[in-house]
């Protein structure tokens, strides 16, 4: 299918993991895709996705906590790829620490990237949707920890609960303009972030070897396996499509049934 032919999609954190799965899905479906991430190799990743899919892509190195940089990145995307139709706020970080060891810097980093960064990109996208009269799509990556917090990550959970509240507020403001805003809550997904989670939580929760804690948690998933970035990308593509035009303000789990709420 080429549901997004002629459309421009902006994906933050699109250079790896879930974000790369999302960017690749849009590229496969005919979109022009702007891939933004803080890492310096982002242009090379965008070029690789273009080579894989035949889509036109743009790689932008971006710190989503910098409002001026966000404005410049969206302006470049529209100048190079065309009028914005979809903005996916996926860039995120996590750190893990006992509450007494959790630093103010870690708190600020998680809230700045995971919540403020989502806001700044949504704000810029909405300005552009309104300027062009586009019935655009905002899709924000939250987390299973936007449903229930977990041990040693109060700052991360707070940042992701914030994404859900932000999404609902924007959905109510923008609904009459035909602009939708939805959030997704990935569970355990095969990514570098989950490699980090397995390693650090495994050390803090017991003497787990590499992969052992994640395997134990996966046993609790009704489907009996971790998800893939491509499966998350499929949900995001649906929410961005015309088929989802009457869906807004929703937070949808993509976790194999791990959390059913």
Which pLDDT value is given to residue 102? 98
**What is the CA angle 37-68-129, rounded to 5?**
80
In the predicted model, is pLDDT for residue 16 greater than 90?
yes
* pLDDT tens-place string over residues 36-68: 999 999 999 999 999 999 999 999 999 999 999
Specify the CATH superfamily of domain 8-187+229-254: NAD(P)-binding Rossmann-like Domain (3.40.50.720)
Tell me the pLDDT band of 72, cut-offs 50, 70 and 90.
very high
Do the beta carbons of residue 176 and residue 123 sit within 8 Å? no
Residue 1 has pLDDT above 80, yes or no: no
Residue-wise pLDDT tens digits, 86-134: 999 999 999 999 999 999 999 999 999 999 999 999 999 999 999 999 9
Longest CA span, the chain: 56
For the chain, where do the domains classified as CATH 3.40.50.720 start and end? 8-187+229-254
CB atoms within 10 A of CB 138: 27
Cβ pair 24, 38 in contact under 8 A: no
Cβ proximity of 9 and 3 under 8 Å: no
Instruction: Please give the average per-residue pLDDT across 239-246, as a whole number.
Output: 98
Strand partners, 57: 33
Model pLDDT, residue 241: 98
* pLDDT one-digit tens code per residue, 166-202: 999 999 999 999 999 999 999 999 999 999 999 999 9
Please, which pLDDT band fits residue 261 given cuts at 50, 70 and 90?
confident
* Predicted pLDDT of residue 58: 98
Q: How far apart are CA 140 and CA 126, in angstroms?
A: 13
Element (H, E) at 254: strand 251-254
Res 120: pLDDT:
99
What mean pLDDT value characterizes the chain? Answer: 97
pLDDT of residue 248: 98
Alpha-carbon gap, residue 222 to 185, rounded angstroms: 16
Of the candidates 54, 16, 23, the one whose C-alpha atom is nearest the C-alpha of residue 234 is: 23
Residue 111 makes CB contacts below 8 A (sequence gap 6+) with: 155, 158, 159, 162
pLDDT at residue 12 in the model? 98
* Active-site residue set: 156
Tell whether the model's pLDDT for residue 231 goes beyond 90. yes
In this prediction the pTM is: 0.97
Residue 205 has pLDDT above 90, yes or no: yes
In whole angstroms, give the CA distance from residue 164 to residue 141.
9
Q: Report which DSSP code applies to 225.
A: S
Structure tokens at 234: 């499929």
Per-residue confidence (pLDDT) for residue 170, from 0 to 100: 99
Percent of the chain past pLDDT 90, that is, above it, reads 98
pLDDT for residue 28: 98
């Amino acid at each position: 299918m080429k549901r997004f032919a002629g459309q421009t999609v902006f994906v933050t954190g699109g250079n790896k993991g879930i974000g790369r799965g999302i960017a690749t899905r849009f590229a496969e479906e005919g979109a022009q895709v702007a891939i933004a991430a803080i890492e310096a190799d982002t242009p090379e990743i965008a070029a690789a996705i273009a080579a894989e899919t035949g889509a036109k892509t743009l790689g932008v190195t971006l710190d989503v906590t910098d409002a001026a940089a966000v404005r410049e990145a969206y302006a470049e995307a529209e100048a190079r790829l065309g009028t914005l139709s979809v903005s996916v706020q996926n860039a995120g970080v996590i750190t893990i620490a006992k509450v007494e060891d959790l630093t103010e810097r870690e708190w600020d980093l998680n809230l700045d990237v995971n919540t403020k960064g989502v806001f700044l990109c949504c704000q810029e996208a909405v300005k552009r949707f309104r300027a062009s009269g586009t019935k655009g799509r905002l899709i924000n990556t939250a987390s299973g920890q936007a449903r229930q917090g977990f041990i040693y990550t109060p700052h991360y959970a707070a940042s992701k609960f914030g994404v859900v509240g932000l999404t609902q507020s924007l959905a109510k403001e923008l609904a009459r303009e035909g602009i939708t805003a939805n959030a997704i809550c990935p569970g355990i997904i095969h990514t570098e972030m989950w490699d980090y989670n397995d390693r650090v939580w495994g050390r803090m929760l017991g003497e787990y070897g590499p992969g052992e804690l994640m395997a134990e948690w996966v046993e609790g998933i009704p489907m009996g396996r971790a998800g893939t970035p491509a499966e998350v990308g499929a949900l995001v593509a649906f929410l961005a499509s015309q088929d989802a035009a009457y869906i807004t303000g929703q937070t949808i789990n993509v976790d194999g049934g791990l959390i059913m709420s």
